[in-house]
Structure 1
Amino acid sequence: MIRVTFLGTSGAVPTVERAPSALYLNREGDEFLFDCGEGTQRQMMRFGTGFGISHLFVTHLHGDHVLGIPGLIQSLDFNDREEPLAIHGPPGSKRHLTDLVHAAGHDPGFPVTVHEVRPGAVALSREEYEVRTFATEHRTSSVGYALVEADRKGRFDREKAEQELDIPPGPAYGKLHDGQTVELDDGRVIDPAQVVGPARPGRKVVYTGDTRPVDATVEAAENADLLVHDATFLDEASDRARQTAHSTAVEAAQIAQRAGAKRLALTHLSSRYAGRARKLEREAGEAFDGEVWFPDDGDEVDVPFPDADADADTDA
Structure 2
Amino acid sequence: MTLRVTFLGTSGAVPTVERAPSALHVNREGDELLFDCGEGTQRQMMRYGTGFGLSHVFVTHLHGDHVLGIPGLVQSLDFNDREEALAIHGPPGSKRTLRQLVHAGGHDPSYPVRVDEVRPGNVALAREEYQVRTFETDHRTTSMGFVLAEADRKGRFDREKAEEELGIPPGPAYGRLHAGEAVELGDGRVVQPEEVVGPPRPGRTVAYTGDTRPSEATVEAARDADLLIHDATFASEDADRARSTAHSTAAEAADVARRAGANRLALTHISSRYAARAGLLESEAREAFEREGYDGDAFVPDDGDELEVPFPDAG
State the TM bucket, normalised to the shorter chain.
over 0.9
Q: How far apart are 1:94 and its partner, in Å?
A: 0.3
Question: Using the alignment, how far apart are the partners of 1:275 and 1:224 within structure 2?
Answer: 30
Q: How far apart are 1:206 and its partner, in Å?
A: 0.5
Q: How far apart are 1:297 and its partner, in Å?
A: 0.3
Structure 1 counterpart SS, 2:6: strand
Aligned to 1:303: 309
1:1-150 correspondence runs (5 A) = 1-150=2-151
Does the alignment pair 1:210 with 2:211?
yes
Q: How far apart are 1:168 and its partner, in Å?
A: 0.7
Structure 2 counterpart SS, 1:50: coil
Moved more, 135-144 or 283-292: 283-292
Structure 2 counterpart SS, 1:236: helix
Question: Using the alignment, how far apart are the partners of 1:175 and 1:88 within structure 2?
Answer: 39
Question: Using the alignment, how far apart are the partners of 1:129 and 1:49 within structure 2?
Answer: 21
Q: How far apart are 1:225 and its partner, in Å?
A: 0.5
Does the alignment pair 1:176 with 2:163?
no
Structure 1 counterpart SS, 2:146: strand
Moved over 6 A (4+): none
What do the CA deviations read for 1:26-59 (whole angstroms, capped 9, x no partner)? Answer: 0000000000000101000000001111000000
Question: Using the alignment, how far apart are the partners of 1:87 and 1:220 within structure 2?
Answer: 21
What do the CA deviations read for 1:162-181 (whole angstroms, capped 9, x no partner)? Answer: 11111111111110000000
TM-score when normalising by structure 1: 0.97
Q: How far apart are 1:301 and its partner, in Å?
A: 0.3
Q: How far apart are 1:227 and its partner, in Å?
A: 0.4
Question: Using the alignment, how far apart are the partners of 1:42 and 1:71 within structure 2?
Answer: 9
What do the CA deviations read for 1:59-111 (whole angstroms, capped 9, x no partner)? Answer: 00000000000011011001110000000000000000000000000000000
Aligned to 2:292: none
Question: Using the alignment, how far apart are the partners of 1:200 and 1:206 within structure 2?
Answer: 19
Question: Using the alignment, how far apart are the partners of 1:10 and 1:272 within structure 2?
Answer: 10
Question: Using the alignment, how far apart are the partners of 1:44 and 1:153 within structure 2?
Answer: 34
Structure 2 counterpart SS, 1:301: strand
* Structure 2 gaps, min length 5: 290-294
Question: Using the alignment, how far apart are the partners of 1:102 and 1:170 within structure 2?
Answer: 56
Question: Using the alignment, how far apart are the partners of 2:168 and 2:76 within structure 1?
Answer: 57
Aligned to 2:236: 235
Question: Using the alignment, how far apart are the partners of 1:122 and 1:59 within structure 2?
Answer: 14
Question: Using the alignment, how far apart are the partners of 1:228 and 1:203 within structure 2?
Answer: 14
Cα root mean square deviation, aligned: 0.5
Contact 1:257 1:287 in 2 (8 A): no
Structure 1 counterpart SS, 2:42: helix
Aligned to 1:252: 253
What do the CA deviations read for 1:95-154 (whole angstroms, capped 9, x no partner)? Answer: 000000000000000000000010000000000000000000000000100000000000
Moved more, 286-295 or 228-237: 286-295
Letter in 1 for 2:155: G
Q: How far apart are 1:236 and its partner, in Å?
A: 1.2
Identical positions, percent:
77
How many residues are treated as equivalent by the alignment? Answer: 309
What do the CA deviations read for 1:246-282 (whole angstroms, capped 9, x no partner)? Answer: 0000000000000000000000000111121111000
Contact 1:249 1:281 in 2 (8 A): yes
Question: Using the alignment, how far apart are the partners of 1:254 and 1:181 within structure 2?
Answer: 47
Letter in 2 for 1:197: G
Q: How far apart are 1:287 and its partner, in Å?
A: 1.8
Aligned to 1:291: 297
Moved more, 113-122 or 286-295: 286-295
